[in-house]
Structure 1
Amino acid sequence: MCLIVFDWRPGSDTPLRLAANRDETHTRPTRALAVWPDAPALVGGRDLRAGGTWLAASQTGRFAAVTNVRDAHAKAPPSRPSRGTLPYQALTHETPLAWLESLVASEAQTYDWFNLLYCDGVTLLHVHHGPAGTTLSRVSPGVHGLSNATLDTPWPKVVRARDGFARALKQPPWQAPALDTMHDTRSAPTLDLPDTGVGMEMESFLSPIFIRGQRYGTRATTLVEWRPTSIELQESRFGPNGAAHGSRWHSLALAGVTQS
């Protein structure tokens, strides 16, 4: 997952509404949004190479998502376990808050740099593990954006997506305008690009909200709405050069999962 925008309103009927794009090589094997056969309390997409996920929710009332952190100027850690295991652990650990504290204290060092969002409907937490260290923080109420730096870093794609998402939330039902925002393929002006050490040509290629490429690009857009009795998830999938590959919807309730 490489771009997440969300509205966090604890105590409301819809405490979390979220839109996210997963950017990945098109050849990486993936399972679309579904109930996990070996963990039937979970719903989410699945990385079939390493077995983890970029975004998922649990019947127990938890949500988690992960992005990588990009900074080629700093020395990257050696090869590490897949970051896709982090949302899975957040959703299945018996004591998730204690696990998050342990992750920040020591376990994060075993992974490449990442951002992890974890929500239980009451609290939304953000773990950032990057070249400058590892932090755990509570997310304040409001609309936020997260990509491959820390929370609300004002990269052009983050600002554009966050502002577009905020406008979408004022146009109920919000899902259609949110999808329009997340499928924006415009590149950012060169002068506005961040310098993460990958070169300006690559920075420009990665700068749209929705990335279209033959080898690498946006492979899924996921919408999430946390309701009083359920978590609603909607996923649209894409192939090389942004070709549409279908969509799925799930309603995840404490009493079970229904699928359309």
Structure 2
Amino acid sequence: MCLIVVAWKAHPKYPLIVAANRDEYYQRPSIAAHYWKESPEVLGGRDLEKGGTWLGVNQRGDFAAVTNFRGGELPPQGRSRGELVARYLLSKQSTTEFMGGVDRERSQYNPFNLLICDGNALVYTSDIHDSFQELPPGIHAISNQRLESDERKTSIARVEMAKRLKKGPSEEQLFAMLADPKPTSDSSDPLENALSAFFIRAIERNYGTRASTLFLRDNLGNGLFCEQQFDANGPLGEPKRFTLQAAAMPV
């Protein structure tokens, strides 16, 4: 279970605010956020199993993130959904141009939810949608269900993000939101309860939140990218912090 919360044109200083948790098996190899050696314009983590990424930005300030769809059936040898994020960040296409290409090949990928933003539009699609949709200003949240699903976890996440917008927001407040281990479900199944939390630590399944990531882009085009990595024992060092300058990011 993953969580992505996006405040889009909902704050007077920051038109784009992203707070996200990546949940994954602890044994799956990955690299923390960094500028990619072969593509230094891209900043994000790297999945060493498939080569893509779950969330990233580039020096133009474009943002992309993906989650899997829980319960979806994997097509035979389906392409990695993390490839979609990497492809968008490496392209020089607008959101609509890129999504037009996704429309033609979405069925080739493992079940996914995809969010991309070029500073002008925030756009969503999935493997089952006929096309993409441009999202209106506001707070949007997605986990491992579809964006339009009435899931309690994402409903609470939108409320919590709204509270942070009124207070700042600050890195500390956003990281604290993502670190909340309280279940949002009252299921009789202990695993379902554990997976309903913002921050997951299901040690018996060797599964949990592996990274918490923030991206804030201000009205001047400056960007701030922060990431905290975790393993089964807790945080791995201090959060990494990167700044992107407006000179390289068109407003």
TM-score (norm 1): 0.86
Kept in 2, the 8 Å contact 1:108–1:134? The answer is: no
For 1:127, what is the secondary structure of its paired residue?
strand
| C-alpha displacement of 1:13 | 4.2
For 1:18, what is the secondary structure of its paired residue?
strand
Give the whole-Å Cα distance in 2 for the aligned partners of 1:30 and 1:109. 26
Q: Which one-letter code corresponds to 1:22 in the other structure? A: R
| C-alpha displacement of 1:213 | 2.3
Give the whole-Å Cα distance in 1 for the aligned partners of 2:159 and 2:114. 22
Q: Cα–Cα, structure 1 residues 44 and 77, in superposed 2: closer, same or farther, change >3 Å?
A: same
For 1:205, what is the secondary structure of its paired residue?
helix
Residue 64 of structure 1 pairs with residue 64 of structure 2: yes
Give the whole-Å Cα distance in 2 for the aligned partners of 1:10 and 1:182. 19
Match in the other structure for 1:175 = 171
Match in the other structure for 1:32 = 32
Q: 2:153 aligns with which of 132, 142, 157?
A: 157
Give the whole-Å Cα distance in 2 for the aligned partners of 1:173 and 1:221. 16
Residue 83 of structure 1 pairs with residue 81 of structure 2: yes
Give the whole-Å Cα distance in 1 for the aligned partners of 2:6 and 2:65. 12
Give the whole-Å Cα distance in 2 for the aligned partners of 1:10 and 1:43. 24
Kept in 2, the 8 Å contact 1:31–1:46? The answer is: yes
Gaps of 5+ in 2: none
Give the whole-Å Cα distance in 1 for the aligned partners of 2:130 and 2:3. 20
| C-alpha displacement of 1:12 | 5.5
Match in the other structure for 2:196 = 207
Deviations along 1:136-165, whole A, 9 cap, x unmatched?
A: 000110111111112252322212222111
Give the whole-Å Cα distance in 1 for the aligned partners of 2:169 and 2:142. 23
Percent identity over the alignment? Answer: 36
Kept in 1, the 8 Å contact 2:213–2:225? The answer is: yes
Mean CA deviation greater in 165-174 or 107-116: 165-174
Q: Which one-letter code corresponds to 1:69 in the other structure? A: F
Kept in 2, the 8 Å contact 1:90–1:100? The answer is: no
Q: Counting strand residues as a fraction of each chain, which structure ranks higher?
A: 1
Gaps of 5+ in 1: 194-199
Instruction: List 4+ stretches of structure 1 deviating above 6 A.
Output: none
Give the whole-Å Cα distance in 1 for the aligned partners of 2:195 and 2:169. 29
Q: Which one-letter code corresponds to 1:49 in the other structure? A: E
TM-score (norm 2): 0.89
For 1:39, what is the secondary structure of its paired residue?
coil
Deviations along 1:110-152, whole A, 9 cap, x unmatched?
A: 101111111111111111223xx44300011011111111225
Q: 1:222 aligns with which of 213, 218, 233?
A: 213
